[in-house]
Amino acid sequence: DAKTTQPPSMDCAEGRAANLPCNHSTISGNEYVYWYRQIHSQGPQYIIHGLKNNETNEMASLIITEDRKSSTLILPHATLRDTAVYYCIVRALLDSNYQLIWGAGTKLIIKP
Amino acid sequence: SAVISQKPSRDICQRGTSLTIQCQVDSQVTMMFWYRQQPGQSLTLIATANQGSEATYESGFVIDKFPISRPNLTFSTLTVSNMSPEDSSIYLCSVSMRTGFGEQFFGPGTRLTVL
């Protein structure tokens, strides 16, 4: 199983880009990388996912290294509402079913 | 996307009792999952709820302790049986529109405290 490693916490100034790193050095070729976030007292929220190519949507950008052993989630203009725990997750095929393997996450604090 | 509701939103229960948590989705979905999130921890998958058949449990979780039903494509229940204080957690329902697709939508969770 691929596992992910993230820094436990990060700070970012409001209005600046927040760059959240994730290591997934044991990822295999067919495993996707997903990012979710969890705002306090809410259920997790899907942000973005990717396999090999960089991806961008209205929430964030995902940069995946060429060897796929790490990735970075970029929130281009962080706001106070982006304060949350961000989870980098690998989707793996286990016992014929796809599952999300959740790591410990990064607590991102956006400061005014 | 899907809108997911859970009942109850929170409860305080006595040791040895059981609690059934309901998960209702506003549209038909392919996959439904139940997670546990212990205080300050990440999410752990309990089981995949299968329509019309027994749920698929992850290692460390058994049907006798966490019976699950899924009678149709929009509804599921999770029961936490014979509760102990160690079962105090947030229980989350999530859904996915496609088989094997990792984009899941989560409910607000049920915060359970066992005394």
- What pLDDT score does A97 carry? 67
- What pLDDT score does B101 carry? 56
A-chain residues near B24 (CB < 8 A): none
Amino acid identity, residue A24?
A: H
pLDDT tier for residue A103 given thresholds of 50, 70 and 90: confident
What average pLDDT does the segment A23-47 reach?
90
| SS percent in chain B: helix, strand, coil, step 5 | 5, 50, 50
Name the residue among B104, B105, B107 with its Cβ closest to that of A100. Answer: B104
In 10 A of CB B114, how many CB atoms?
19
Does position A1 have pLDDT exceeding 70, yes or no?
no
What average pLDDT does the segment A6-23 reach?
97
B-chain residues near A49 (CB < 8 A): 102-103
Of the candidates A109, A91, A72, A85, the one whose C-alpha atom is nearest the C-alpha of residue A3 is A91
Closest Cα of chain B to A95: distance in Å?
A: 10
B-chain residues near A43 (CB < 8 A): 4, 92, 94, 106-109
Amino acid identity, residue B101?
A: F
Of the candidates A19, A28, A103, the one whose C-alpha atom is nearest the C-alpha of residue A61 is A19
* DSSP line for chain A: ----B--SEEEEETTSPEEEEEE-TT--TT-EEEEEEE-TTS--EEEEEESSS-EE-SS-EEEE-TTSSEEEEEETT--GGG-EEEEEEEEEEETTEEEEEE---EEEEEE-
What average pLDDT does the segment B89-100 reach?
88
What average pLDDT does the segment A82-110 reach?
85
For B76, residues 6+ apart whose C-beta sits below 8 A from its C-beta are B22, B23, B32, B34, B49, B68, B69, B70, B93
- What pLDDT score does B103 carry? 84
B-chain residues near A103 (CB < 8 A): 42
Residue in B36, B43, B105 to test binding to A, most A beta-carbons within 10 Å: B43
Structure tokens at A15: 């209005």
Residue in B4, B59, B103 to test binding to A, most A beta-carbons within 10 Å: B103
Rg of chain B taking only CA atoms, in angstroms:
13
For B48, residues 6+ apart whose C-beta sits below 8 A from its C-beta are A97, B31, B32, B33, B55, B56
What's the CA gap between A62 and A22, in Å, rounded? 11
